[in-house]
Amino acid sequence: MTPAEEVGKCSECGSIDKGTRYLITPPTEGNPLGTFCKNAWHHVPPEVHQDEFTEQEFQFIFGICWGLPLVEIAEQCKIDHSIVMNAVSGIYRKVGVSTRLEFVHHFVRAALNAELRGRKG
């Protein structure tokens, strides 16, 4: 294998074929070909913090994803609205987002990545 081919080789399967392969990393100065792989599932990012949320936070997360107002989430959990507001702010901080829409996008993406990792075998 030539040094140029070595640069664009997939670290998982060794693929360098650009034919029906997936572009994993775009070309750069150090890797002018980019990196290609025949199996994009090799490259699903690993879950950073699998036990990131408490059971109560998951209740809030599901309420958020269902589109429930925070007041309704609080009523369903039989707790004060301010507790839910503070907890949701903490959840957003953990994930690195600032809005409900950004959070739902992040959550769905993480769930899909987990599904892809589960099918990887």
Statement: the pTM of the whole predicted model exceeds 0.75? no
| For the chain, domain boundaries | 3-43, 55-119
Are 104 and 64 in contact by the 8 Å Cβ rule? The answer is yes
Going residue by residue through the chain (121 aa), what tens digit of pLDDT does each one get?
Answer: 444 455 556 555 665 555 545 566 677 787 776 666 656 555 555 554 445 788 899 899 999 989 999 999 999 999 999 999 999 999 998 888 999 999 998 888 888 877 777 776 5
CATH number for the domain formed by residue range(s) 55-119:
1.10.10.10
Residue 4 pLDDT: 45
pLDDT of residue 35: 67
| pLDDT value for 49 | 47
